[in-house]
Amino acid sequence: MRVRIATTILGITAALLAVPACSPDSVSAASDAPPSAHTGKQADTAQQAAPLSSAALETRLLNESDLGRGYLRKPERPAQHDDVTVIGCPALSELGGDAATGGTLSFPRKAKADFTYGASSSEVSEELYSASAAKLSNGIGRIFDAMTGCPTYQVLAGGTPIDMASQKLTAPRGLGDEQWSQLLTFSTGDRSTVVKQTAIRTGGLLLIVSGSPALVDRHLGKALTKATAAS
C-alpha cells in the first residue's frame, strides 16, 4: 500500500487513519458488511443534521486559552508528501486502493490543530471530521481494527524505515456514541516515540486526539465538550 502523506510522526498516523475514507469502495464495502462491534449503535443515527463545514469545525477546536499555560499552536506547514509503504500488515494493505494515492477524501469537512507543550518535545494534536454517522463509524472503525490487529509492522516513509508497534486500549466509556483508542510506538534507529490516539464519534462528528499519552488523557474530555457544543 503506497500512500502520499507527510512524514511527521503524527502526520503518518493521521494519514493511515484516513486510508479507508480515501476509497469510496472501502466505505461502500463496509456499509454492506454484516454489523460489527463498531456499527451496533448506528440505529439511532438515521436522521442526522447536515455535516458541519470545515470553517465551523475550526471554531470547535481547542486553542491555547482552552489548553492553559505552556501550550503553543504549531503553524500549519505546507504539505510535503513522500511515498509511504506499509510492510507486514495485510489488513492495512487491503484497505488501500487507487484512491489512497491521492484521490479525494470521503471526509472533506475537517479541521486540525497541533500544539507543543512547554520546553519538552511533548505534542498533542486534535482533528475534527463531519460526515454521516455511518461513514465516520465504518471508516475509523475499520482502520483501528486493522492497525490494532497488526501488533508490529513497518512503514517506509521516503525511504526511511519506521518500525511500528500497536496496542489496543480500552476506550473511555460514556463519551459520545462510539469510542476507539490505541497506543502506537514509532521507532527509528535508537529513538522511539509513543503516541496515544483516541477517537470519539458522536452523531455525525468525529474527534481524534493524538499525542503524548498524558496530554491526550488530560484534554480529551475538554476537546469533546467544545467540539459538541452548539454553535
Quick: pLDDT tens for 185-209. 989 888 899 999 999 999 999 999 9
Separation in Å, CA 224 to CA 5, 88, 91, 175 = 26, 34, 30, 8
Separation in Å, CA 54 to CA 57, 73, 90, 136 = 5, 18, 33, 15
Q: What is the pTM of this model?
A: 0.77
Report yes or no: 158 and 80 within 8 Å, Cβ to Cβ. no
What is the model's pLDDT at position 11?
53
Say if residue 78's pLDDT is above 70. Answer: no
Report yes or no: 2 and 84 within 8 Å, Cβ to Cβ. yes
Residue that is written with C-alpha cell 534507529 in the block: 189
Separation in Å, CA 230 to CA 48, 55, 61, 129 = 15, 14, 13, 16
What is the model's pLDDT at position 41?
45
Check residues 14 and 172 and name the one with the higher pLDDT. Answer: 172
Q: Which among 25, 188, 11 is positioned nearest to 97, based on CA atoms?
A: 25
Q: Which among 136, 127, 132, 13 is positioned nearest to 61, based on CA atoms?
A: 127
3.40.1010.10, 3.40.1000.70, 3.10.200.10, 3.90.1150.10: CATH of 2-227: 3.40.1000.70
Give backbone dihedrals phi and psi of 150, rounded to 5 degrees, phi first.
Answer: -115, 95
Check residues 159 and 36 and name the one with the higher pLDDT. Answer: 159
Quick: pLDDT tens for 113-168. 999 998 777 999 999 999 999 999 988 888 888 888 889 988 887 778 889 999 99
Report CA torsion sign: 218, 129, 39, 26: negative
Based on the number of CB atoms within 10 Å of its own CB, is 55 exposed (0-12), middle (13-18) or buried (19 or more)?
A: exposed
Report CA torsion sign: 200, 213, 60, 102: negative
Pairwise CA distance, residues 153 & 164, whole Å? 5
3-class secondary structure, 3: strand
Report yes or no: 109 and 28 within 8 Å, Cβ to Cβ. no
